[in-house]
Amino acid sequence: MRIADRGSRNDQPPVINAASRTARRLFSPFAFFLFGSLLFFGCQGNSTPSPPHLPDGVMNLSKSTALSIGPQIALSGNSVYVVWQEHTGGQNMEVFLSRSGDGGTTFDAPINVSQSSSFSGNPKIAVSGNLIYVVWEEFVSDRNDTDIFFREAEDQNGSFVWAPPLDAPGKNLSLSPPVCGTPGNKTGPCPSQEPAVVAFGDNVFVAWGEATDYLISPVTVGQSATQFTLLNSEILFTHSTNRGADFTPSPAVISGPKPSSICGADAPQTPSLNPTLAAADGHLYIAWEDCTRPKSKVLFRRLPDPTGSFTPPLSQDPTILSGSINGSNRPELAAEGDRVYLLWEGFPFPEESNTCPVLGGSAPNSEILLIRSLNQGATFTSTDDLPQTNLSNNACSSNDGKIAVSDGSIHVVWMDNTPGLAGLVYRKSTDNGATFSPAVNIQGSGSAANPSITASSNTLFTTWEDATLGNLEVVFTKK
């Protein structure tokens, strides 16, 4: 078995035609890396008298001159794991993993998990005991497609045993025939994106979004550049009962059907996006964003038994959790015991009520919203109780919320642009979400983005991408 670090990379870019490049730029968030490189590498000046440095207690995990983005964090006992994607030359990005065996005090050198000559990104991670599960998106050049790949590792005191081994390709979970594309002529690939993963015991669950209907059209007549328009995508789901050795051969479609009672006149052609998974006490919970923006909703199903059936059944409508709140997107689930928490971003107030000096009253402000269930997802608190539901509750924009639960404490972070609070904001509940501490800034504005959190009792572990050092790095802190 070969365990490769940054010294083992393939800098040859994949073969990507104009159509697939544009499709991945619009349908997959990690393809913005070229713009990000120009933004952060091309705007460095020499006006500062001394080199920039991170705040005290913030650790640089990526330590790279390249672009490092999209971190995700997981915790098991005293071991902390962080994955991210990093530019490795040309059009290539790879997925890296760094481990701490001492509760986040120190971290090992990053390991290249994707080990691909193609573009890999948007990783997610789950842990169960000493077993680590990593999923990511990867461009498959010979099929001009993007698929979801998987590796499992056993952590033997910092030495990893990988399956598949790192000298072999990752396991493709979303391989499908070319039956997608333009309605009436579905002979194209079915791009897969936005994976989510959760695990408990020997069970591993993976969900992702898959484009089924889309249009590829010229941006300008006579030029090769193309525009990708997503018409419909579905949330697919697969399950392993043997620690990722095998998965169900045919992924289940979680998002269908899409009746007009949920998505209105846009049904049944609506994008289903951003799946999120949580598990507790043998129960699995899945939520996702559905219906066309700006009328998107958060939908939900639960699986009381890993070998049983979903509730509601897949033949019936999923449950709407976002109520009447407009533009509900980016859901995040967390669960502990009988309690299930849904965090998301939405627009509960009309545009004319916006008084944010940053937004200038020209756009509605997004808020971070939370509802909870105390009975394993059977019922949730009402979204109509905005004083209870609205965690950010300010005149400016709040987005990219993340949630973690541990020992009855709920930790929530999000990005905010409210003057005096702008940056990475944090609130905590110690009574199962009934009340929360006041919002405080834990990282200033202008440098932090894309946070991910986990928690152990009263300790919060946070990672994010940070531009303080002149290019985007993956950083970490615990408090």
Return the CATH architecture of domain 272-445.
Answer: 6 Propeller (2.120)
Mean pLDDT, rounded, of the chain: 87
The pLDDT confidence band at residue 433, using thresholds 50, 70 and 90, is very high
What are the tens digits of pLDDT across the range 378-410? 999 999 888 889 999 998 999 999 999 999 999
SS3 386: helix
What are the tens digits of pLDDT across the range 162-180? 999 999 999 999 998 999 9
Give residue 360's pLDDT. 65
Give residue 454's pLDDT. 99
What are the tens digits of pLDDT across the range 214-226? 998 887 766 777 8
Tokens for 322, please give them.
């976002």
CB 156 within 8 A of CB 134: no
Q: What is the mean pLDDT of residues 100-117?
A: 97
What are the tens digits of pLDDT across the range 121-148? 999 999 999 999 999 999 999 999 999 9
Give residue 49's pLDDT. 57
d(CA 463, CA 74): 10
Amino acid type, 78? N
Q: Say which range, 104-108, 300-304, 307-311, has the weakest mean pLDDT.
A: 307-311
Give residue 97's pLDDT. 99
What's the length of the chain?
A: 479
What are the tens digits of pLDDT across the range 320-329? 999 989 899 9
CB 145 within 8 A of CB 115: no
The pLDDT confidence band at residue 356, using thresholds 50, 70 and 90, is confident
Q: Say which range, 209-223, 308-322, 449-463, has the weakest mean pLDDT.
A: 209-223
Global pTM reads: 0.89
d(CA 172, CA 169): 8
State how far the alpha carbon of 224 is from the alpha carbons of 143, 216, 231, in Å. Answer: 20, 11, 22
On the CB side of 277, CA atoms within 13 Å amount to: 27
Q: What is the largest CA-CA distance in the chain?
A: 64
The pLDDT confidence band at residue 231, using thresholds 50, 70 and 90, is very high
The domain segmentation of the chain, as residue ranges, is: 1-227+240-253+459-464, 272-445
